[in-house]
Structure 1
Amino acid sequence: MISRRQINVISRTETNIKTDSPTPLNLKHYKLPSHDRMNPDLYMPLVLFYSNPQLPDHTTSIANLLRNSLSKTLSKYYPFAGRLGSSGSYVECNDQGINFIEVQIACNLSEIMEKAPVKDEEEGFGHLFPPCSIWHKVSCSPLVLVQLNHFSCGGIAIAVCLSHRIADASTLLSFVTYWASVSHNPSDEEKLVQLAPCFVQGLLPNSYDDDFVAKEVLLPEMNWITAEMLFYNSKIAELKANQEKQDKLNGVVAEQNYTRNELVTALLYRCALAAAAKSNSGAYPHSVLFRTVNMRPLMDPPLPKTSVGNLVVANHILASTMEETELHSLVGQMRKEKKQLTGMKSLVRKEVMSIFEKYAKENYKQYAVSSICNFPLYDKLDFGWGRPVNASLMDAPFVNIFTMMDTPNGDGIKVILGLGKEDMKNFRADKELLTYASFYH
């Protein structure tokens, strides 16, 4: 049993990392498109764990290797080394650099791995990140923060925070993947060209209206509980078989061919609504599920995987009764919404936050789900000493949210979720949910 003691930071040093080469004058002003300006000015927090990193070349330290490769990476991702302009609608690419913090922590990696991915400074992962960085406002601060944590056992954790105003989770992972590749094999020019960022200003017409002012998005104070749960592939296969059997009994003619992502998303939404209804004397609320969709492969023409920005659109799936939460019905809505996005040429008026506001005014209970399943979360994040033993996006930025990602060994889906206290109690006791999922903590 891990003791519930506060984990102490022994030492902390901070360095400013600048670009390896100066940003050209013609690239000094990076104008943000409307779909970026509508995003909250908050840090997205990612942490990567490595159990026993060993460098074959003992002439340099892990910290120096990471700092040098990060400097080279910032030369490619040059806006990330700048500062957000006063209007919030552009980045001043002034090469001011980013913060790199190195910390010694008085515990073993195994102790950290037993904890929930929450920002509690004493019991959670909060001490693995720079202070006030986990889903905190960026404002005039650096757009990227990095913290290298050394544990007593020799393991490390690399925490990276990136402004959501300028990028989505896909861009965050592309950035770290490029950094890892520069660190691991800087001479592989062909690979680095493939992983290099693509800035899409010329590819998305009508997205750069100068009159479109960046929106101030205020998220509520912490009033939810964060938990982590696992859906093993074997259990998802069981859920799929049971659902296909149920479809036949109900006379559902269409061949659904359910995916893992669709089934887990639909089940999470169904059980979250059942929990909310139980908290509300059995009455189902008018609700909407926002499901973020990566638009890079759906655009016409498709955008490169390494395209920089918030290139997502939120599908919205409505439900107000238990009958409307049948899995085949929810999956049908998801597919219909996604089909309508295929072949889009512009993201104008498709901003995620504006859709949130629409349903908030209509008093819908709002849920959100995002997925980084099938993204390069493990195999491509080798800085020179092997893949991470675990990785996680941290905490929940607001209530009623689910974040899905692959498990480290690919045997299932990990979900980090945030629900209100009463809803979480009911959700964790849902028998249908517990048939297919288990809570990690």
Structure 2
Amino acid sequence: MTIKGLILRASLISRRQMHVISRSITNVKPDSPTPLNLKHYKLPSHDRMNPNIYMPLVLFYSNPQPSDYTTSIANLLKISLSKTLSKYYPFAGRLGSSGSYVECSDQGINFLEVQIACNLSEILEKAPVKDEEEGFGHLFPPCSIWDKVSSSPLVLVQLNHCSCGGIAIAVCLSHRIADASTLLSFLSYWASVSRNPGDVENLAQLAPCFVQGLLPNSYDDGFVATDILISEKNWITAEMLFYNSKIAELKAYQEKQDKLHGVVANQNYTRNELVTALLYRCALAAAATSNSGAYPLSVLFQAINMRRLIDPPLPKTSVGNLMSPTHISANTMNETELHSLIGQMRKEKKQLTGIKSLVRKGFLQLIEKYAKDNYKLYVVSSICNFPLYDRLDFGWGRPVNASVVDAPAVNIFTMMDTPNGDGIKVILGLEKEDMKNFRADKELITYASFYH
């Protein structure tokens, strides 16, 4: 056999080792039936505005050793998940035909258990894309990564066992009924039940809060649920890291520039603000390079967690899509100065403080208007400072890593904390030529590094 043939054969063997070698599926139902008066869960307008697609998150654990040796990891997770679904009762139901309510029928959710023929370290070296060969696709149930839910369960779970003894818990939750904050609250409650089911006080603090009675103005029977077409992937996915030390350098540099140009001193920029503004600035520069130097018309959307901003404030564990969008635009290089972008972002967020309702009927029309006028749409969302690691101990320690997988569409960035809390990692999707220029941006690589 030629050297080329040996290399090809070795490559094929390596790929086969990443495949699923066994799979089983169980239906997990709530351990107590949903009361009759809660069987119909009406979705508020701010939930109906979100597409019914799965949000994919995966948690990695190295050689877990559960404290309860009388049962397997899988059984421990199923039992605690069943108890959790009794509290998060709509999650075990099915979306109604109109897409505007959940039939809380206790039909349960799919729990898959899978053997993966590779080590955990090999998976962590791969990019967080949906592809089964080049990313995390084999860790999730088929057709679940940013795919349409249709008539399927609203939650999917896959427990992956690696050859080394490590595990990966992949969870998908319908975006129609919940945002990322709700997903993490759900996981925190589930982990707490698994770790210490007798800690009644802690579980009471983590219990879900359903907001029907708190947001009475959010229910509009005439509001039609949003539906979208899932497009073929036309972007490149990458993961990048902004270490806190580099963000501090960026902050110091920006404060120095502010003083030189007469900008109000002591802006007290946050990590999120700096990274968001830099991502938008460099993405636009990349698009301009792809367009022979001409900056495109563009708009940046951000999803703002409204739980603390709405009046009165809502509990952290409130269930639903309790977000409100902000948007800013920039069409020239001068308009992408960080202090200017952050100033606009703060102004937009300030306008949300103290609002009484999340009903914003003009948002979809706004997106349609920008798209019709050929604006390039960018979205940056953040789950930084959320309980992503410390609260997701199921009884064998915190995750060694966690990741949102891929992007739901092009020009979308998701920010999250690194496992050690030493920085921010970003999962992003850009068109091929834009990604090439983005990765080569000198300003960007001064403060960030690409993991893949």
TM-score range, shorter chain: over 0.9
Say yes or no: does 1:390 pair with 2:411. no
Residue 314 of structure 1, CA deviation? 1.2
Is contact 1:40-1:218 (8 Å) kept? no
Say yes or no: does 1:300 pair with 2:311. yes
Aligned length: 440
Q: Could you say if the C-alpha distance between residues 355 and 303 of structure 1 is closer, same or farther in structure 2, counting changes exceeding 3 Å?
A: farther
For 2:128 and 2:362, how far apart are their aligned partners in 1? 28
Cα deviation, 1:114-133, whole Å, max 9, x if unaligned, reads 00000001221000000000
Q: Which residue of 2 aligns with 1:26?
A: 37
Cα deviation, 1:286-332, whole Å, max 9, x if unaligned, reads 10000110000000000100000011111101100000000000000
Is contact 2:244-2:422 (8 Å) kept? yes
Residue 352 of structure 1, CA deviation? 5.4
Q: Which residue of 1 aligns with 2:7?
A: none
Cα deviation, 1:397-431, whole Å, max 9, x if unaligned, reads 00001100000000000000000000000000000
For 1:363 and 1:201, how far apart are their aligned partners in 2? 38
Q: Which residue of 2 aligns with 1:412?
A: 423
Query: What residue identity is the alignment partner of 1:59?
Result: T
Cα deviation, 1:141-176, whole Å, max 9, x if unaligned, reads 000000000000000000000000000000000000
Is contact 1:147-1:158 (8 Å) kept? yes
Query: What residue identity is the alignment partner of 2:207?
Result: A
Say yes or no: does 1:5 pair with 2:15. yes
Say yes or no: does 1:206 pair with 2:206. no
2:198 to 165, 170, 187: 187
For 2:70 and 2:401, how far apart are their aligned partners in 1? 28
Mean CA deviation greater in 53-62 or 136-145: 53-62
Q: Which residue of 1 aligns with 2:275?
A: 264
Q: Which residue of 1 aligns with 2:74?
A: 63
Query: What residue identity is the alignment partner of 1:309?
Result: G
Is contact 1:38-1:352 (8 Å) kept? no
In structure 1, the residue corresponding to 2:70 is in which secondary structure?
Answer: coil
Query: What residue identity is the alignment partner of 2:142?
Result: P
Query: What residue identity is the alignment partner of 1:424?
Result: M
In structure 1, the residue corresponding to 2:402 is in which secondary structure?
Answer: strand
For 1:352 and 1:66, how far apart are their aligned partners in 2? 39
For 1:347 and 1:254, how far apart are their aligned partners in 2? 34
In structure 2, the residue corresponding to 1:75 is in which secondary structure?
Answer: helix
Residue 354 of structure 1, CA deviation? 4.5
RMSD: 1.2
Residue 212 of structure 1, CA deviation? 1.4
Say yes or no: does 1:242 pair with 2:253. yes
For 2:368 and 2:422, how far apart are their aligned partners in 1? 37
Please give the residue correspondences for 1:125-140 in structure 2 after superposition, counting only pairs within 5 Å: 125-140=136-151
Query: What residue identity is the alignment partner of 1:347?
Result: L
Say yes or no: does 1:327 pair with 2:338. yes
Q: Could you say if the C-alpha distance between residues 350 and 262 of structure 1 is closer, same or farther in structure 2, counting changes exceeding 3 Å?
A: farther
Q: Equivalent pairs: percent with the same residue?
A: 84
TM-score by length of 2: 0.96
Cα deviation, 1:32-80, whole Å, max 9, x if unaligned, reads 0011111111000000000010022211000000000000000000000
Query: What residue identity is the alignment partner of 2:64?
Result: P
In structure 2, the residue corresponding to 1:63 is in which secondary structure?
Answer: helix
Is contact 2:147-2:230 (8 Å) kept? no
For 1:153 and 1:352, how far apart are their aligned partners in 2? 48
For 1:430 and 1:21, how far apart are their aligned partners in 2? 55
2:120 to 96, 103, 109: 109
Query: What residue identity is the alignment partner of 2:146?
Result: W
Cα deviation, 1:195-251, whole Å, max 9, x if unaligned, reads 000000111122111121212122432000000000000000000000000111111
For 1:191 and 1:379, how far apart are their aligned partners in 2? 14
TM-score by length of 1: 0.98
Q: Could you say if the C-alpha distance between residues 353 and 117 of structure 1 is closer, same or farther in structure 2, counting changes exceeding 3 Å?
A: farther
Say yes or no: does 1:50 pair with 2:61. yes
In structure 2, the residue corresponding to 1:187 is in which secondary structure?
Answer: coil
Is contact 1:290-1:367 (8 Å) kept? yes
Is contact 2:259-2:265 (8 Å) kept? no
For 2:217 and 2:286, how far apart are their aligned partners in 1? 43
Q: Which residue of 2 aligns with 1:221?
A: 232
1:378 to 365, 384, 389: 389
Query: What residue identity is the alignment partner of 1:311?
Result: L
For 1:183 and 1:236, how far apart are their aligned partners in 2? 36
Is contact 2:415-2:425 (8 Å) kept? yes
In structure 2, the residue corresponding to 1:341 is in which secondary structure?
Answer: coil
Please give the residue correspondences for 1:308-347 in structure 2 after superposition, counting only pairs within 5 Å: 308-347=319-358
Query: What residue identity is the alignment partner of 2:403?
Result: S
Please give the residue correspondences for 1:157-176 in structure 2 after superposition, counting only pairs within 5 Å: 157-176=168-187
Q: Which residue of 1 aligns with 2:448?
A: 437
For 1:137 and 1:253, how far apart are their aligned partners in 2? 47
In structure 1, the residue corresponding to 2:436 is in which secondary structure?
Answer: helix
Query: What residue identity is the alignment partner of 1:189?
Result: V
Mean CA deviation greater in 50-59 or 280-289: 50-59
Say yes or no: does 1:424 pair with 2:412. no
For 2:193 and 2:249, how far apart are their aligned partners in 1? 42
Say yes or no: does 1:144 pair with 2:155. yes
Cα deviation, 1:246-294, whole Å, max 9, x if unaligned, reads 1111111253110000000000000000000000010001100001100
